[in-house]
Structure 1
């Protein structure tokens, strides 16, 4: 059977990381003490933080993981949710996880790219999480994320059909309309926006509403759901179709914490991780369909690019991301 291009490319990224001496063969030493603790009753308590505020839809997988682990591990292990960016700012969370300030980070793979450049390729998968596990991709990610002293637990969105979209406050009739357009970005799609000729502006989600209101940005990238949770639907006029990439929400655990867990507790996580990925596939496919319909009812128009423009748009999205990932230091 011919190997999936994604599997081959991730294997290449792993080899490249090893060659340049990024330390993927072993864990990075933690500079601080781990947050994990055991109560007098012997229950291990793990501290979790999310990249987004509690009510954000992207956190659904985290709360599902917490529910499952706490149920399966009752009397043995307990995950305590501390909060989102108000506890630790979004872009500081990967470093906090690496140092052991917290045990679990629910985040975007793109947000970790300053520590793990290859992480930006996680969104490029055309495989389901189940296929990634069966084809060995999950094991490759576990090796790669050792660069930031982390254990890869699971994906959060569950399907390559749950994708990102670009949203704008002005109509886009052709790809040339993106030229010079200031667009809020994250590491996940910065290369794509640059390739389109747009002007990427890096902002955390909490600052996007004001930036749109003041005209600092004329659009942004986000999954095909959840813009109403930030109030962006009130300022957004258009959603560009087709979508691109697979939403890259992931759960990471500090590697020192993981290695300190008894085998039976690790087994609980392994079981819960698989269940979460299965549950989130259905959840996010339904949410995406529901939210797109809701946006349209509120006046957000979906712009369907022409067949040729769509092909160029999609090709540009993936080629710009792969070029960046495969040439990252």
Structure 2
């Protein structure tokens, strides 16, 4: 398995590693999944080697392959109700899309409904908001970043700490859970509320490898993926409380971006769906319209 981040990322530990352990236990030790992080293949280049069969599995986020498809990134704009995603056909829609266009089989969409937040080097000015500031942001965040008057820039996550420390950026958008492992609160100590969106990760398998498995093994991998989705929501809600407390104890402070949760979610959803349309054209529009029709 390739993972987009290493063991200092909460998602890797509580999703990727948790999935691997679950599969190992459910198979009575017959299936072992060995993870390799971005030190082996950079995070933004991991989809292709899995599609080519160099690796079997991938744990990633859709924002890391928007050049191939925008659908995975758009999942962050979808309601995080695990069972509703399946009942409405959204899960199957995404699965079929990745099989047909990328040559990979979807196993799980583990989701942190704790969402994203701004980490700022200075507290929010309620009058000027983020006017004139530079914020590290990936495409899905651009709408909400610009609405606050800031300029979004793309910087590799491995350079974020030093960029904030040196004043190259005035803050960053990152997952509300997971920043503590990278110590971003040391250089961007103002944790902005509210958080917004969901963080929908993807666990996928090379399609040929999948098709070569017997039905029992396929069912086991899918069952583990469904259970991981159910487990992730509660686990990340608890992690948010723990990581907030740890960062505040280390000197971080809470601030506000001046939006209600509803306003922030609407702006973010707009941006995330724009990524789907920009990355996938008519297919992205079809996904947006399908999700909207399901009330999700």
1:73 aligns with: 27
> 1:75: Cα distance to partner?
5.9
TM-score, structure 2 length as denominator? 0.86
Q: Which residue of 2 aligns with 1:36?
A: none
Structure 1 distance, partners of 2:119, 2:52, is: 36
Q: Distance in 2 between matches of 1:176 and 1:246?
A: 27
Count of residue pairs brought into register by the alignment: 278
Aligned with 1:239: secondary structure?
A: strand
- Structure 1 length-normalised TM: 0.78
The correspondence of residues 281-300 of structure 1 with structure 2, limited to 5 A, is: 281-300=233-252
After superposition, the C-alpha distances for 1:122-166 in whole angstroms (9 at most, x for unaligned) are 001113222212222110110121222111111223x53x21101
- 1:156–1:250 Cα contact (<8 Å) kept: yes
1:180 aligns with 2:168: no
Q: CA deviation at 1:294?
A: 1.8
Which of 92, 100, 118 lines up with 2:45 in the alignment? 92
Q: Go from structure 1 to structure 2 and tell me whether the alpha carbon gap of 1:305 and 1:166 turns closer, same or farther (over 3 Å shift).
A: closer
Change (3 A) 1:97 1:218: same
Matches within 5 A, 1:1-329: 48-59=1-12, 60-74=14-28, 76-81=30-35, 83-146=36-99, 147-157=101-111, 159-160=112-113, 162-174=114-126, 176-306=128-258, 312-326=263-277, 328=279, 329=281
Cα RMSD, aligned residues only: 2.1
Q: Where do 5+ consecutive residues of structure 1 fail to align?
A: 1-47
Stretches of structure 2 lacking an aligned partner (at least 5 in a row): 282-296
- Structure showing greater radius of gyration is 1
Task: Judge conservation of contact 1:212–1:235 (CA < 8 Å) in 2.
Answer: yes
Give me the whole-angstrom Cα distance separating, in 2, the residues matched to 1:179 and 1:211.
19
Secondary structure class of the residue paired with 2:188: coil
Counterpart CA distance in 1 for 2:127 and 2:266 is 12
- Greater CA deviation, 118-127 or 195-204? 195-204
State the distance in 1 between where 2:163 and 2:239 align.
26
CA distance, structure 2, for counterparts of residue 148 and residue 192 of structure 1:
29
CA distance in 2, matches of 1:57, 1:233: 15
What is the SS of the residue equivalent to 2:251? coil
